[in-house]
Chains A and B, each alone.
Chain A
Amino acid sequence: MDQAILNSICESLYRGEGAALITIVATRGSTPRKAGSKMILFPDGRTIGTIGGGCGEAEVKRQALLAFDEKSSRLYTVNMLNEAAADEGMVCGGLMEVFIQII
């Protein structure tokens, strides 16, 4: 975790805004970024950092907004292996487990 991410989290906490800290915790096969990569998502949809971009990241963002509403942290697995993923343009062909932490 680096200073830029920590700064953003602390600022959002001071503002009382809340945020979701999204961390790649494990990957298998070919994925754009590896374990430890982080992104912050704010309730209005703004983000800081990236967990790889593209459809995989968009899918995680939707899950994180859900997690916001339910106020519960959770694990989520992005599957870029199957044909559906290839059709949607996720061409990496790997598996990525992310932790969505509501803070």
Chain B
Amino acid sequence: MIFDKLLTVVKNGDMADIFTIIDSSFAGDPLVGKMMMVYSDKAAAGELDKAVMEELLQAVKNTVWVSPMIICQECGEKQLRIFWDKVVNKNSAIVLGGGHISQPLVQILALLDFAVTVIDDRPEFANTLRFPEAKEVICDSFQQALKKVTIDSGTAVIIVTRGHRYDLDCLRVAMHSNARYLGMIGSRKRVREALALLEEEGAPLDLKERLKAPIGLAIHAETPAEIAVSIAAEVVSVFRGGYGGSLSKEEVRYGSGHTK
């Protein structure tokens, strides 16, 4: 069964393409609903004829998949419409620091379907009792712990440790990753100083552009929970390619909103 195979792929953290025939010019075509999958090594499996699978593979060879889409394909006399999807792994978030912002932040990120890892070097802050929604809580020095976690283009790295010095330690490691979101807490002044220091040390050139610091969207957050909302909103905005302003202000430029 193809769903079994797809589940194995996603459990192993691998990728696979999924092709589903959704429409045919031939009424009542039994092909509608049939699927094929392609592993990352290009091996194909599924419920379609070998010949049809080969044809389809040829047809998509030069197409770059960006988001789920429909492709049209001739198959003998028939015209088929095929939905092209991929298995996706859950996005992940690394929260560095287990303080009082982290608690609501981890709750919100879990609600947003991130697999959250919390890191702190103090056992009284880095424990699963404090973070029941986290996938993993690591109690270790920040540098050591950062070596153990996977950071990729589906990861948000959020630096909110108890001290400026620790924040810098984390940033020194995280700035070399390809994390989708990289944010660090701190006042404008502190951030400026930190960036200047890292520049001297030879930080990647795009760090200034990329680093979200001071962290979060401008909603005048004060309480830990409000700051967590501000940070989480910025994470969503980066992952979804949003602007981060009010929809009522930017309706024309940024789409018509998210209402039903």
A interface residues (Cβ-Cβ under 8 A, vs B)? 1-3, 6-7, 9-10, 13, 23, 25-26, 30, 32, 34-36, 52-54, 56, 72-75, 89-93, 99, 101-103
Closest to A101 in B: B33
29 inter-chain pairs at a CB distance below 8 angstroms, sorted by A residue, are A1-B10, A1-B86, A3-B10, A3-B11, A6-B3, A6-B87, A7-B7, A10-B1, A10-B4, A13-B1, A13-B3, A26-B70, A32-B259, A35-B67, A36-B67, A53-B260, A54-B260, A72-B32, A72-B33, A73-B22, A73-B33, A75-B22, A90-B260, A91-B259, A92-B259, A92-B260, A93-B256, A99-B22, A103-B3
Q: B87 to A2, Cβ gap below 8 A?
A: yes
**A94 to B65 CA separation, bound complex (whole angstroms):** 24
Q: A3-B7, A6-B7, A73-B32 are in contact. Are A36 and B256 (CB under 8 A)?
A: no
8 Å CB contact of A25 from B22, B86, B89: B22
Closest 6 CB pairs of A and B: A73-B33, A36-B68, A6-B7, A99-B22, A35-B68, A30-B256
9 additional A-B pairs beyond A1-B88, A2-B90, A73-B32, beta carbons within 8 Å, are A1-B6, A3-B7, A30-B257, A32-B258, A34-B67, A35-B67, A35-B68, A73-B22, A101-B33
B interface vs A, CB < 8 Å? Answer: 1, 3-4, 6-7, 10-11, 18, 20, 22-23, 32-33, 67-70, 83, 85-90, 255-260
Q: Check A6 against B6 for contact (C-beta < 8 Å).
A: yes
- From residue B6, how far is it (CB to closest CB) to chain A in Å? 5
Contacts of A103 in B (CB 8 A): 3
Interchain pairs with CB closer than 8 A, number: 78
Contact B32 A1 (CB under 8 A): no
Give the CA-CA distance A59 to B111 in the complex, in Å: 27
Contact between chains at A3 and B90 (CB < 8 Å): yes
B255: which A residues are within 8 A, CB to CB? 30
The answer, among A3, A30, A56, A74, for a CB contact under 8 Å with B89, is A3
User: How close is B16's CB to chain A, nearest CB, in angstroms?
Assistant: 9
* Complex interface: chain A residues within 8 A of B67 (CB): 34-36
Question: Are the CB atoms of B83 and A25 closer together than 8 Å?
Answer: yes
Tell me the complex Cα distance, A24–B231, Å. 30
